[in-house]
Amino acid sequence: MDYLAGLNPEQKAAVLQIKGPVMIIAGAGSGKTRVITYRVAHLIRSGVDSFNILVLTFTNKAAREMRERINHICGPEAKNIWMGTFHSVFAKLLRVEAEKIGYPSNFTIYDTDDSKSVLRAILKEMNLDDKLYAVNFVLNRISAAKNNLVGWQEYQQNDQIQADDQGGGRGKLGVIYQTYVQRCYRAGAMDFDDLLFKTNELLKLHPDVLNKYQHKFKYLMVDEYQDTNFSQYLIVKRLAAVNENICVVGDDAQSIYAFRGANIQNILNFEKDYPDLKIFKLEQNYRSTQNIVSVANSIIANNKEQLKKNVFSEKETGDKIKVMRAFSDNEEGKMVADTIMQDRSTNGMKWHDFAILYRTNAQSRSMEEALRKNNIPYKIYGGLSFYQRKEIKDLIAYFRLTFNPNDEEALKRVINYPKRGIGDTTVDRIIVAADKNSITPFEVILQPNRYIEKAPASLSAFAAMIQSFQVLAKNQSAYEAALYIAQHSGLLKDLYEDKSVEGLNRYENIQELLNGIKEFSEREDIEEKGLDVFMQDIALLTNDDKDKNKDADTVSLMTIHSSKGLEFPQVFVVGLEENLFPSQMSLNSRSDLEEERRLFYVAVTRAERKLSISYATSRFKFGTLINCEPSRFLDEIDARYLELDYSAKPAQSSFFDDERNAWSRKPDTKGDTFSKPKTATTPPPVKTTSILAKAHVVSKDFKIADTSNLQVGMQVEHERFGFGKVLNLEGNKPDVKATIFFKEIGQKQLLLKFAKLSIVGGAE
């Protein structure tokens, strides 16, 4: 029991409670991975058969770390636990049971690119406008339906869904959905959403299968439960129905994935499903200083929907959180880069100790420019992963075709690469023949002369090559099979003969993939080492697994969504401006705004020792420089924990006042330039409750007006700046700028198309 010695009382209590429904509310940095790990180890030490334990995570990285720790405590028994991401665990289950729902056990798993390719082909066949039926939109629509367990039949029969589609001019979405599902089925393929959708279908339609796994998985643990969607929720609930030995771990304050179907109500209402639930709260933060924790607490306290907890830290108080104001997005980038340079030099830090987090990918531009000017090495996370490179996808397509010759997307990708005289016209004829005869394209290729007039001889040669790969892959290790396919497909030779720099890089990437397969073949912790097993592993990689240069000494740049689960000694959260963070799209409902606040909470709690928050008073958007307001979230932070940095000077060409009216527009006698006011103003004193002035209380009858006919002298109201008078109008529609004097904050210049003004009085 020595593994219990290092746990605090609440952690220990959660580990020891192994019977019945349990919910562990784990605040940021509270050691939840350790608790899950030790709880599983304690189950095994208490006599539970490791084959009867199911642990579901959201990343392969988390599953690997837990298994290694459990192995250290319990030895080889750790190998028997069903542990992994929802998708990897249920893909494994479906490999065993898929034939019951009409799929082959060797089904292909389509990634996003594969799904988009199928949809593009369908849209082309149906002669639909690819702007109205944008592929991303269609795919997201289908994904949302599957995550809510709405099949294509229910989709077509649901009056509300049909009305929505017709109203948006997309009445064919139901037919597209049906065709997409049928096309995937014909190819023996499932997309990512199908892995959960089909598992639900299997458990619903086959009570014998459900009963089998209910009695197999006597103990269930679910990590990051706040991120589960309806499909995941229902699978877990069904599997736990017999024994009810279910433990969910999560933090409602870190629920940030509603856009991809996560439902925070799953964790908020967990007690309704299990009235005899035992709840444990992990409230001690072992990651961050007390000041950082206090800031996070003051932010999340503003959410109405939450499970109350009091997170605290026993680490040092730490530095106050620096709030930096810049006069443009470029100056914001410069301030961040300068701070990194200074702190690295002063404190002896490494580049990888720093992270810059932003709300949208577009914000990386100004950060990148500033880092490059200072010769600071950086890495953007969420870019093109190793497994998304063309040459890697090409070789993997050969692997996929070897194990599933019905995989139409893999076939189309490599049938004429390297070139073998099979052009697009021939491929189109193959697809038409397959549709006409209700068979797969590969079946057409096996007998080309039967289905295609004047079929090129290279079709038969291609089919024979794939069949030879199939025979070899059954009898050889993953590495031997992969190397043979790379060589005899002609792909390796084609890349080797390309002597350009890009060609050399592509060839080296293939070698790196083969090295990875060789390493996989030599692993001792897995029993099945075939190429098909390797293929499933990489098909189910999550973003945290795809980066090949994790240990490089570089500053990390990423969206806040990508940062979840990570931590850094020093963090910069940039772009704290209204309509950016919180995003403009989130201002339509309380639930959306609360999710944005949770996102801010996640950003803040990534920091271990130092945290800086920045905002700009002007920023380019779609090529236009716009005026920016500080985020309302800054108002919610208790100013006792903050230090203001107003040291940035406005660019000479800036025509925006800052939000304190510290700088004003003053025509210079020499021309249309702008100068500093004669009397320099200083930042206002810090208040005891807020960093910024409290927002204007909007009038009850406030209504955003059409400002196309706004005139000088009119009285207006702004949601944040209050009541004001129009002093000047300049520019041409739609980029008219209004200079307005507001009673509460002074003179500001606003772009009317973004200003959201209410007109309260006519021109004097």
Residue 666, pLDDT > 60, answer no
Instruction: State residue 708's pLDDT score.
Output: 85
pLDDT digit string (tens) for 202-245?
999 999 999 999 999 999 999 999 999 999 999 999 999 999 99
Residue 410, pLDDT > 60, answer yes
Q: 537 vs 44, 66, 155, CA distance in Å?
A: 26, 18, 32
Question: Is there a catalytic annotation at residue 428?
Answer: no
Q: Is the bond preceding residue 582 a cis peptide, omega within 30 degrees?
A: yes
The residues near 249 (Cβ < 8 Å, ≥ 6 apart) are 23, 24, 26, 32, 35, 36, 221, 222, 223, 224, 225
Catalytic residue of the set 223, 329, 717, 719: 223
Question: Is there a catalytic annotation at residue 344?
Answer: no
Instruction: State residue 337's pLDDT score.
Output: 94
Catalytic residue of the set 281, 598, 606, 748: 606
Instruction: State residue 652's pLDDT score.
Output: 37
What are all long-range contacts of 531-538, with beta carbons under 8 Å and residues at least 24 apart?
531/399, 531/402, 531/403, 531/473, 531/477, 531/478, 531/481, 531/482, 532/106, 532/403, 532/473, 533/478, 534/478, 534/482, 535/396, 535/399, 535/400, 535/403, 536/88, 536/91, 536/95, 536/109, 538/387, 538/396
Catalytic residue of the set 11, 32, 339, 739: 32
Q: Quote the CA–CA distance of 287 and 328 in Å, as a whole number.
A: 32
Helix axis angle for 86-97 and 531-539, nearest 10°, is 140
Q: Quote the CA–CA distance of 66 and 59 in Å, as a whole number.
A: 11
pLDDT digit string (tens) for 626-664?
888 899 999 889 888 988 876 655 543 332 333 333 322
Q: Provide the token pair at 626.
A: 């716009």
Sheet containing 82-85: which strands, arranged edge to edge?
Answer: 82-85, 53-57, 219-222, 246-250, 22-26, 278-282
Residue 512, pLDDT > 90, answer no
Catalytic residue of the set 165, 194, 224, 443: 224
- Angle 295-296-301 (CA atoms, 0-180°, nearest 5)? 100
Question: Is there a catalytic annotation at residue 33?
Answer: yes
Least confident of 51-65, 238-252, 505-519, 523-537: 523-537
- Model confidence band, residue 385 (pLDDT cutoffs 50, 70, 90): low
Catalytic residue of the set 10, 12, 17, 33: 33
Catalytic residue of the set 254, 289, 536, 749: 254
**Any idea which residue has 């969420």 for tokens?**
382
Instruction: State residue 696's pLDDT score.
Output: 60
Kindly state the DSSP code that residue 577 receives in the 8-state scheme: B
Kindly state the DSSP code that residue 756 receives in the 8-state scheme: -
Q: Provide the token pair at 429.
A: 């004829």
Residues making up the annotated binding site are 26-33
> Which of helix, strand or coil describes residue 740?
strand
> Which of helix, strand or coil describes residue 561?
helix
Question: Is there a catalytic annotation at residue 426?
Answer: no
Q: Quote the CA–CA distance of 224 and 251 in Å, as a whole number.
A: 7
User: Strands, E, within 99-186: which ranges?
Assistant: 108-110
Instruction: For 603-617, give the DSSP string.
Output: HHTTEEEEEEEEEES
Q: Quote the CA–CA distance of 306 and 254 in Å, as a whole number.
A: 10
Q: 477 vs 470, 518, 529, 594, CA distance in Å?
A: 13, 9, 7, 51
**Any idea which residue has 């298994």 for tokens?**
67
- Model confidence band, residue 384 (pLDDT cutoffs 50, 70, 90): low
Question: Is there a catalytic annotation at residue 594?
Answer: no
Residues making up the annotated binding site for ATP are 26-33
Instruction: State residue 654's pLDDT score.
Output: 31
Which residue ranges form the domains of the chain, and what is each CATH number? 9-100+197-282 (3.40.50.300), 109-187 (1.10.10), 312-385+546-644 (3.40.50.300), 389-541 (1.10.486.10), 694-763 (2.30.30)
- Angle 43-49-54 (CA atoms, 0-180°, nearest 5)? 70
Question: Is there a catalytic annotation at residue 224?
Answer: yes
Q: Quote the CA–CA distance of 332 and 322 in Å, as a whole number.
A: 13
